[in-house]
Amino acid sequence: MLGNFNKNVKKIIKFFPESILNLTSKSAVYFGLAVYWCVIIAGTVFNII
């Protein structure tokens, strides 16, 4: 029973960092693009006014 628990814990530990890294990098790209477009839009609006 303890051996089975140990295998499950190892699988969870292996999967967890990949999932976090993928989610974090994807979120960072989306956040960067949102900031980039906000700067472009703000620059356009302030130059027109």
pLDDT of residue 25: 77
Residue 48 is classified by DSSP as: H
* pTM, two decimal places: 0.51
37, HSE (Cβ side, Cα atoms, 13 Å): 5
Average pLDDT on 21-42 reads: 86
